[in-house]
Amino acid sequence: LFYGGFMSVRTRFAPSPTGHLHVGGARTALYNWLYAQATGGQFILRIEDTDLERSTQEAMEKQLQDLKWLGLNWDEGPRVDGDYGPYQQSLRKEIYQKYAEELLNEGKAYYCFCSDEELQTQRDLAIKEGRNPHYNGKCRSVSREEAKKRIEAGESAVVRFWKKTEKEYVLNDLIRGDVRFGPDMIGDFVILRSNGMPVYNFCCAIDDASMKITHVLRAEEHLNNTLRQMMIYEAFGWELPTFGHVSLILGEDKQKLSKRHGATSCNEYREKGFLASAMINFLALLGWSSPKGDEIMTTQELISQFDLDRFTPSAAVFDEKKLRWVNQNHLRKLSDKEFWAELLPILERENVDAPSSDQWRALAASVLKERVEILSDAIELLRPLSDESFAIDEKGAETLSWDESKPVINKWQEILSAMNAEYLTEQDFLDAQNKVKEECAVKGKFLFMPIRVAVIGKPHGVDLQSLVPLLPRASLIERADKCLQHMGK
Ligand code: GLU
């Protein structure tokens, strides 16, 4: 499409919102967005909400929010607008009706009065006779005038697309190469329902054409829709956009990714403590690869390396372990300030307090960035920080009843008291632990478990090497003291 003298790429994401954005939808949105960014084109968001029962306003808001979280901002769409709006299909009914009228006028569509029962009988007969169960074309012969009269008399009718030729359609797909659709794959299909609501394939083709979309990247499962859309484009004499059908996303069991595999919406990943930049990185690599073979990529790097030659037609497996690894890599790259900005809302949600001094936060960030894969991993590590949370539990009390425990904790406290710094380093902790081991001549669980009880009140849980450097030495001394009191000093 040429306007203003140059060809500008226009991509779109066209969700039918029924809830939060699914990871598959996010990947589709991402590819379209990346291509627009990489080419200096436009990314359009169009809400396909003609199924009014399933697509609620609330669901749309959730999708907008999820796209914003991912940073996939749209150049045209709801809340932004542009020259080709409205960008919500429920607000474009007249447009679809106008185009349906055009097809009716040109004899490329017709009113069909066949009832559901009649259609079923036709289908049964076709199957019995070994034919394809397509609509038999009965109402093709109903003239416009007759149709008008019958509708005015209260009969209900759908509008059907009139398939004029029996030919093979070939789609030159960016990802799949030539995709051939046999001449008999579909028959005359409905474009307007009897209540005047257009069907998805009709709206989609009208919108992609009238919004001047140049590239459509979408999921493989839409391939059969593409055939209908190609027919609609042809009926209007419009030029087809370039299509690329991206591979399916499978769960680790190689079945199509679904709820049964666990979290499937971006929002669930957000709540679990994944970073938007990591989601973007991971999703981009589900079906596309970097020409340089990079795995950890910033969004900027993705934009600069993105091109349409690197898609793979084979299905991609959603590997959550890899996602966690990608996330950890992104966490490590955050500045301390960015890290805390991401972490604080999660700590707040979980009622975990963390000291607010810059010094402590820098220290904690350096420990946490090494230890956590996702932000919520920090919760269990930070929860034992508050002195109020310190309590000796049943297992802790049992540990304290061992003969070895008293000397061990006495020595531990003595070593701590002899130090000066406000906080221990990881090395200080390891040295202290070794000293206790030597001087008390204990090892294994008789060494580690009492010390752990003296830090967190229980003999299992949190890795002390990470936690101890985050606790003020004074607080460690106090906790050890509580244990000694418990044992009767
Ligand atoms: N509204 C369709 C869906 O959510 C998208 C169709 C398309 O991308 O053309 O699956």
d(CA 401, CA 450): 10
Residue 49 Cα to ligand 1 midpoint, Å, equals 10
| Residue ranges lining ligand 1, Cβ < 6 Å | 14-16, 48, 204, 218, 222
pLDDT in tens, 388-441: 889 999 999 999 999 999 999 999 999 999 999 999 999 999 999 999 999 999
How far apart are the two ends of the chain, measured CA to CA in Å? 85
Per residue in 66-102, pLDDT (tens digit) is: 999 999 999 999 999 899 999 999 999 999 999 999 9
Query: Which SS3 state, helix, strand or coil, does residue 309 take?
Result: helix
Residue 488: is its pLDDT beyond 60? yes
Q: Are 367 and 469 in contact (CB under 8 A)?
A: yes
Is residue 11 within 8 A of residue 43, CB to CB? The reply is: yes
- For the CA of 218, the closest atom of ligand 1 is 8
Residues with a known catalytic role? 259
Query: How many angstroms separate the CA atoms of 44 and 213, rounded?
Result: 8
For residue 219, report the distance from its CA to the centre of ligand 1, in Å: 8
Ligand 1 atom at shortest distance from the alpha carbon of 204: 9
State how far the alpha carbon of 199 is from the alpha carbons of 160, 283, 376, in Å: 11, 30, 43
In 3D space, the residue among 421, 413, 428 whose CA is nearest the CA of residue 477 turns out to be: 413
| pTM listed for this prediction | 0.90
Q: Where are the alpha helices (DSSP H) in 221-296?
A: 223-236, 266-272, 276-284
Comparing 120-134, 164-178, 308-322, 400-414, which segment has the lowest mean pLDDT?
120-134
Of the candidates 69, 90, 68, 76, the residue with the CA atom closest to the CA atom of residue 11:
76
3-class SS of residue 7:
strand
**pLDDT at position 1, please?**
44
For residue 4, pLDDT beyond 60:
no
Position 4, amino acid: G
Quick: pLDDT tens for 189-216.
999 999 888 999 999 999 999 999 999 9
Closest atom of ligand 1 relative to the 200 alpha carbon = 1
Q: Considering the chain, what percentage of its residues have pLDDT values greater than 70?
A: 99
Closest CA to 103 of 226, 6, 192, 201: 192
DSSP H or E stretch at residue 31: helix 23-39
pLDDT band at 6 (very low <50, low <70, confident <90, very high): low
Dump the DSSP string for 442-464. --THHHHHHHHHHHHSSSSSS-H
DSSP helix/strand/coil, 440: helix
Helix, strand or coil for residue 161?
strand
Three-state DSSP at 435 gives helix
Q: Angle 228-233-238 (CA atoms, 0-180°, nearest 5)?
A: 170
Distance between CA atoms of 384 and 378, rounded to whole angstroms? 11
Neighbouring C-beta atoms of residue 268, cutoff 10 Å? 13
* Mean pLDDT, rounded, for 265-292: 97
Residue with the smallest CA separation from ligand 1 atom 6 is 14
CA of 63 to the centre of ligand 1 (A): 13
pLDDT score of 7 more than 80: no
pLDDT at 282 over 60: yes
Exposure of 213 in the CB half-sphere (CA atoms within 13 A) = 32
pLDDT of residue 2: 45
CA distances from 45 to 17, 89, 186, 454 (A): 12, 11, 29, 56
- Region 237-255: mean pLDDT is 94
Residue 3 above 60 pLDDT? Answer: no
Residue 181 CB neighbour total at 10 angstroms: 19
